[in-house]
Structure 1
Amino acid sequence: MTNRLVSAVIGALMMIMASPANAQPVAVTPGTITAAEWSAFKNSFVEGTGRVVDTGNGGISHSEGQGYGLLLAFLANSAPDFDQIWSFTKTELLLRDDGLAAWRWEPGKTPHVSDPNNASDGDVLIAYALSLAGEAWQRADLAAAAQGLIAAIGREVVIPLNSSITLLPAANGFGRDDRPDGPVVNPSYWVFEAFTRFASQDKATDWKALARAGQALVKNARFSERQLPPEWVSLKQRPTPAEGFAVEFGYNAIRIPLYLLRAGIDDPALLRPFAEDAGGAGLSLVDLKTGRTHTTLTDPGYRIIPALVACVLDGTALPEDLLEFTPTAYYPSTLHLLSLAHLRALPGGCA
């Protein structure tokens, strides 16, 4: 009886230690993106002003792209490029009275900011990159900017929900008073690795609770036999696809497993639907009403994500062609570099 009890206690402790709530992010340090890779990305998507150009979206810029640019510049250990991207971001997007960034900037319009609403994922990415760089490069100016933006995110777009909290996609347009099915959220806006860092720097918001809420959302907001989350989810009652949006696993959602992995969350219950299947189909855009794939994603920057999931879960080696970076379009190229950086940071790799 005693031996069985001891075994049960040890087993329970192992389950607790392996649970998502206790997952430890892999170290995010400069140097996991090579100088050649960063140069290729920068030459393709970053103007001399520090504007990150979304080549797949009419050449606009947005807070998400600026945040990704800052994070990639940090991972490449390129402080001058980081400063240039930050200068554009600070001057052109951080114009709102609440401390958040306007999300959309268009080169052919006057004023260039064509939508002053924020996008929470962009704000989180910018704050996260500033925080990392401020600490690693001992830059008080970047650390202070990160602190202010983290506080603004918690104040403006993190709201109570039942006994927990949730993250609105923007300050306007998605809350209980904005929509009949509000609040509406986007599971791909949870940049899980950032929330662990925010928790150590800002006590006004329960960032750990927000991370747990995001994991629960990914686990519970799943539809069709593919068991994939839609991009837009109503949380008015139980999670359901939001009204007025396509019920699909789309381009935003494909980064959800990457965000989980980069935060050290390797729970198979969360990740299995995102893994590359036996036929090699991997992640594609899926109509969640029918469960049918309507777009097959062939860009290496998309294909590497399900391959990385399969590598972490099953030890499946990544195809060799995914280990080399060549710029294609802004978004898949960004995901490709973030995936490679994570793979290189894993102790011993994932296979």
Structure 2
Amino acid sequence: MDTRRALLDALADGPVSGPALSDDLGVSRTAIWKAVEELRESGFAIESTAAGYVAPDDPGYCGPGIEFGLDAPYTVEYHDSLSSTNNRARELAIDGSDGVAVVTDEQTGGRGRLNREWIAPSGGVWLSLATRPVAPASRAPLFTLAAAVATVDACRAVGLDAHIKWPNDVLVGSDREDPAADATVDGDAENAEAANRDADARGRGGRKLAGILTEMEGEADRVSWLVVGVGLNANVDAAALPPGATSLAAELDTTVDRRRAAVTLLDRFHALAGTTDRMDRVLPAWRERASTLGRRVRVDTADGPVVGTAVDVEPPGALVIDTPEGSRRVHAGDCEHLRSTDT
């Protein structure tokens, strides 16, 4: 463990003196002082008191701020602005880095699936984790599902009950009813506006909070490197987002703690997929948070649409759909939640 991370871990237990840190970490007093100054320059405002160094009351949304209290053994590389966290994480992974989370306040060239534009202004949780897991390439989809679970738990940690639409869309709300019509009848303009956002999300299974993009390189028997990118609309104005999308702040009507969301996301991902022996936990956790299972769905695949009832998800992430022609296993495609009147 590097001196910075060891210092952050020590500060989590309360005031600690320079000499004690030097002895505990086996480094010089000068190395401790340099680490403290580097943390301060990064936005983590350590105080010097008679009792020793003290962590700030507000660790801040910065690299050391996110690492502070983080159980997962990840290093955080923080930027005020970056074109793409995935691009940067991919560079690090190719160069041999393992366990580095690239985080930025704003992303100017973000992209989603199929190279779709991803709007990522200041205020979101935009991060990509570069890892080198010991796993066969066939298990790679499990890392994407683990990221979806971790993102849902990050939303719930700040107070919003999110859920997953297969395979990895993180949503809030439901498309089972038509709230727009009810709001119009009631004559409530504010509720009607919110309901119209619901209507824009119809078929998506709810309003979209986050997107996940996974990239990897490897051979059949092993993954050389993996990058898991998450874009979570945290403190973002919902009006700036595409139709059908929303943010944590818009849904909760308050600013959320981005640091807590990022820490929860990274810790939960590591708990599920940080080591190969943990990956059997991914599918059960995904099922518990999924809104797709039990729903009538339409999945547009390369071989045509599959329509039926989603009944399960099987390794390494295939959706099992009961259709009039029998059970189908779908590995990839655009999933739409259907209402009783849809075909």
TM-score, L = length of structure 1 = 0.22
Q: Which structure is higher in strand share?
A: 2
Q: Which structure is higher in helix share?
A: 1
TM-score, L = length of structure 2 = 0.23
